[in-house]
A and B are shown apart, each in its own frame.
Chain A
């Protein structure tokens, strides 16, 4: 697969898209972990939801 004289533009485009997609996935996954961790801390502190379920229960 020869990309010709503008290979750097093509490769940069695909690299940027890949990097941004990975950043989005990592950001959302880390945010999920952070929220679950905060809920676990609240649960350990004895805070219970109005429904009576524990903080981390879905």
Chain B
């Protein structure tokens, strides 16, 4: 099966039916191992046990940006290549991305209170991630507001491309401005500054949450294809009844 074959929704549905059980199983195993490793990780010499929040906060924060990146590629697929599944992928990813961004914000806030003494600070990193969350909500509202999926897809694709400008701002906000948030400690020039005792559980959780996103995204894309099939059959039924 080639990538071109996946442009056919029927072939995509048959592929996801075969892949989803394996993906779900791998996700469950990795997340279980990740949660166990996180529970067993040692306390940090400065942060104590609150460092455990990192194992759920950081993967969700990475995915919050990654999902928008996926939607940006899908937006290009809609506007440039007119791939039939591009807008399905974009629409299916938005609620999952919103949920992951919400988790990044809330777990960050719960980590910030004991470490910084405040749940929230209007600094560059926190504010730019909040804007990302609001853009996810805006995108979901836009999809619901326009009845015709192909018209909604074009408007959503443009909004997604505009929103992508926020991604480098989020990534580099800790370097460009003074913020309470610490600078990058895993993905940085010169390698990770995290000790292996924290890095390994963090990477396992990151892969586990990434697989979770892929699994949920494929399942949500399958639902969206079925929803569109329902819509076209309902229109067909209505025109048959009118004739």
Report which A residues bind B (CB closer than 8 A).
1-7, 9-10, 12-14, 16-17, 20-21, 23-25, 27-29, 31-32, 35-36, 38-39, 42, 45, 47, 49, 55, 58
Contact = CB atoms under 8 A, between A and B. Distances in A.
A4 B111 contact: no
Contact of B223 (A4, A7, A28, A49): A28
A36 to B, nearest CB: 7
A14 B103 CA distance: 10
A28 B216 contact: yes
A20 to B, nearest CB: 6
A22 B99 CA distance: 11
B50 interface: yes
B168 to A, nearest CB: 27
Contact of A6 (B35, B114, B230): B114
A39 B111 contact: no
Contact of A1 (B17, B39, B99, B237): B39
B106 A49 contact: no
Contacts of B106: 13, 16
B85 to A, nearest CB: 15
Interface string B37-78: 001100100001110110011001000000000000000000
A36 B13 CA distance: 13
B49 A10 contact: yes
10 contacts: A6-B48, A6-B50, A9-B53, A10-B49, A21-B212, A23-B99, A28-B223, A35-B229, A45-B237, A47-B233
Contacts, number: 95
A45 B39 CA distance: 54
A1 B144 CA distance: 46
B82 interface: no
Contacts of A3: 49, 52
Nearest to B35: A14
Nearest 6 interchain pairs by C-beta: A35-B226, A6-B114, A4-B49, A13-B107, A3-B49, A58-B13
Contacts of B234: 42
Interface string B87-113: 000000001100100110011001101
Contacts of B113: 9
A17 B56 contact: yes
Contacts of A17: 56, 60, 103, 107
Contacts of A24: 95-96, 99, 216
Given A39-B226, A49-B233, A25 B216 contact: yes
Contacts of A58: 10, 13-14, 17
